[in-house]
Amino acid sequence: MTVNFTCSWPGSDLSPNSRIHWAVRAKATKSLRNEAMLLAITHTSPEWRERVRQAGRLAVKLKFVPPSRRGFDADNRLASFKGGLDGISDAIGLNDRHFKVEFELSQEPIKGGGVMVTLEPA
């Protein structure tokens, strides 16, 4: 069974290139982590999560849909979503080192941006 949901666009506070105070970054990371965890719990069943834990592997596909046509660096987008991956890990109870992550950066923006997440037992 495939699970789909959309997380918020990781703000500039989460970019590896931002030069902000560590506490500001920590707050933004915690917010994204909690959002991803709640979405993953809401969109999955306890049985599904148990099946993933038993399989020991999870395929995670991320599609970054930007808020504007401005050029965004793909590898920075993935790094900025680290808190989101940690939240998914928290929800499922599987260490994210067992994730098979694929990602892409869309060229077509949507208002506010977002990260389309697809989870599938691997």
Q: Domain map of the chain by residue range?
A: 3-121
- CATH architecture of the domain 3-121 equals 2-Layer Sandwich (3.30)
pLDDT over 70, % of the chain: 100
pLDDT digits (tens, 9 = 90+) for 56-78: 999 999 999 999 998 888 889 99
- SS3 state at 90: helix
pLDDT band at 83 (very low <50, low <70, confident <90, very high): very high
pLDDT band at 99 (very low <50, low <70, confident <90, very high): very high
Angle between helices 46-55 and 82-92 (to 10 degrees): 100
Answer whether residue 112 shows pLDDT above 90. Answer: yes
pLDDT digits (tens, 9 = 90+) for 22-49: 999 999 999 999 999 999 999 999 999 9
Can you tell me the distance from the alpha carbon of 90 to that of 104, in angstroms, rounded to the nearest whole number? 23
